[in-house]
Amino acid sequence: MLLAEVAATSDAVAATRSRLAKRAAIADLLRRTADGGAADTNPGAVADDLEIVVAYLAGALRQRRTGLGYAALRDLPPPAADPTLTVRDVDAAFAAMAALEGSGSAQARSAAAAELFGSATEREQAFLRGLVAGELRQGALDSVVVDAVAEAAGTPADAVRRAVMLRGATGPVASAALLADDPSAALAAFTLEVGRPVRPMLAQSAPDIAAAFEKLASGDEPGELCVDVKLDGIRIQVHRLGDDVRVVTRSLDDITERVPEIVEVVRALPSDRLVLDGEALGVGPNGVPRPFQETAARSATHESTRGSARGPARATSAEEALADQFELTPFFFDVLHADGRDLLDAPLRDRLAVLDEVAAPHTVRRLTTSDPEAAAEFFAGAVREGQEGVVVKSLDAPYAAGRRGAGWVKVKPRKTLDLVVLAVERGSGRRQGWLSNIHLGARDPEGGFVMLGKTFKGMTDQMLEWQTERFRELEVEDNGWVVTVRPEQVVEIAFDGLQRSTRYPGGLALRFARVLRYRDDKTAAEADTIDTVRSLAV
């Protein structure tokens, strides 16, 4: 399969807002990739092609880390005139780059990247750059690709989703479904296996407790719901088979060796065959949660890179040194398997009963209530303790892993700041031709602005169109990737919290920053100061 065909499909997907049209375009490419096996003498090659194509259309590389930085993506060699690269060529090149280490590796990686990009056409270069940077914004999320696999294989989407959940990856499921004589049987072969991570269940969002209760209401009268404290830690999934314990993160990265204290806790539990879902948290001597950045350093996974195609970021040496001074404590809120019994399809009320038997006293604090006021009071208490908020859950819901099921709704207090746009990056994929990712700064009372991070979240097409025109008016410099602007435009930003950062001069970065609106009623002199931001970090 030529890379040019994948890039062309990506363009087609980016050009439409219709989820059905996106799905159809991807399904067509998957069929063509599978049909390519007739002329291929390597039996595993077509399956490999399918896995690569699935990853690329979902906006990710198969290599979690490549070592390539933004500088390497700015200074690209002249493009090739004609498309010759296959997806296997590209995957092999990135695999070789990812394997480089030691003295001279940076130079060798740059040379390998130059060779790869020099073999790509102009369109292929743009596509590869988006993949490496984790910024292939074409609107083809993994969920769309999963639905496309179902369409291409002629199987129910729910069967594909369940198989992907249990396998923990879409690529192997796609190749199994599309290359099997009996796709349904191939999908049914994916089962829960203790020791093999599954995709975790995710929660929808609601602005407040009342809205969360309304989302989960099953009738006129609200039934009992479970309200879990939402801890500000690292999502973990733990598998135990006898004395063998494996701990993975939300993105299924194995961190077992980094968290021996969690392994010890799990080995002490009464059940020797378990799959548990929970959070790992650093807790201070006063019982207050440690800052997320400290907790994250234990797994070398930073919130700012979750979901990025570039993979987990490494913790700094200072963060790792600090992390070595304390242990992580596990808090479990769900159980997927216990002592030979799979619990994925059991209602939450039954899973919680098993959880209390096998994981006490290491469970998340929760409240069961049908009273929104009682839940709101519980939420306020969790926030006062320094936690992120709560997750409201239906007691009747199964564990719908791998997607944002209707059974869980998270509620977090919304924080906002009025910040100033310092620069803006060119868009790619569906945002090609627009100025997209904005650089955010807080006002320094001593003069100037202090950068706190970047975001492209929350922008509508109308907003992108407006800000492209606006920031061209404010343009000071354009290096081909980043447009520096006069610091005049104020934007209201919502964010979930702050974390320490060595990347930004203020020592802080916004977590999950998203645009609410542009503030034409405020001047840059009225923007929030870095002192205000620092006061929120206390």
pLDDT at 287: 74
Residue 301 has what pLDDT? 42
Q: Which of 238, 359, 367, 234 is nearest to 289 (CA)?
A: 234
pLDDT-based confidence at 40, cuts 50/70/90? low
Give the DSSP letter string of 230-292: E-SSEEEEEEEETTEEEEEETT--B-GGG-HHHHHHHHTSS-SEEEEEEEEEEB-TTSPBPPH
Q: In this model, does residue 228 exceed pLDDT 90?
A: yes
Please give the pLDDT value at position 139: 53
Greater confidence (205 vs 211) lies with: 211
Is pLDDT of 122 > 50? yes
Which residues are paired to 392 by β-bridges?
Answer: 227, 409
Q: Are residues 222 and 370 in contact, defined by beta-carbon separation less than 8 angstroms?
A: yes
Q: What is the DSSP string of 298-347?
A: TTT--GGGTT-TT-PPPPPHHHHHHHTTS-EEEEEEEEEEETTEE-TTS-
Tell me if 514 sits within 8 A of 457, measured CB to CB: yes
Residue-wise pLDDT tens digits, 238-278: 999 999 999 999 888 899 999 999 999 999 999 999 999 99
Q: How far apart are CA 441 and CA 491, in angstroms?
A: 10
In 412-513 the beta strands, taken as DSSP E runs, fall at 415-426, 435-443, 449-455, 475-478, 482-485, 490-495, 497-500, 508-511
Residue 448 has pLDDT above 90, yes or no: no
Q: Which of 29, 34, 31, 61 is nearest to 45 (CA)?
A: 34
pLDDT exceeds 60 at position 495: yes
Higher pLDDT, 500 or 409: 409
Look up residue 35 and give its two tokens: 């049909």
Average pLDDT over residues 70-77: 75
What is the rounded average pLDDT of the residues 468-496? 90
Percent of the chain with pLDDT over 70: 89
Which of 392, 405, 390 is closest to 344 using CA atoms? 405
- Residue 52, H or E segment: helix 45-57
In this predicted structure, the answer to whether residue 451 has a pLDDT above a threshold of 90 is yes
Residue 155's pLDDT band (cuts 50, 70, 90): very high
Asked which of 29-33, 136-140, 175-179, 475-479 is least confident by mean pLDDT, the reply is 136-140
Per-residue pLDDT averaged across 300-321, rounded? 42
Whether residue 312 has a cis bond before it, omega within 30° of 0: no
Is-contact 237 197, C-beta < 8 A?
yes
Q: Residue 404's pLDDT band (boundaries 50, 70, 90)?
A: low
Is 230 one of the catalytic residues?
yes
Spot the catalytic one: 22, 230, 410, 454. Answer: 230
pLDDT at 503: 84
Alpha-helix runs per DSSP H in 58-193: 70-74, 87-99, 105-118, 122-133, 142-153, 157-167, 170-179, 183-188
According to DSSP, the residues that pair with 381 across neighbouring strands are none
The pLDDT tens digits for 409-429 are: 999 887 888 999 999 998 877
- Please choose, from the candidates 413, 437, 411, 415, the residue with its C-alpha nearest in 3D space to the C-alpha of residue 424: 437
Whole-Å CA distances, 22 to 19, 143, 146, 429 = 5, 11, 12, 13
- HSE (side-chain half, CA atoms, 13 Å) at 426: 14
Q: What is the mean pLDDT of the chain?
A: 87
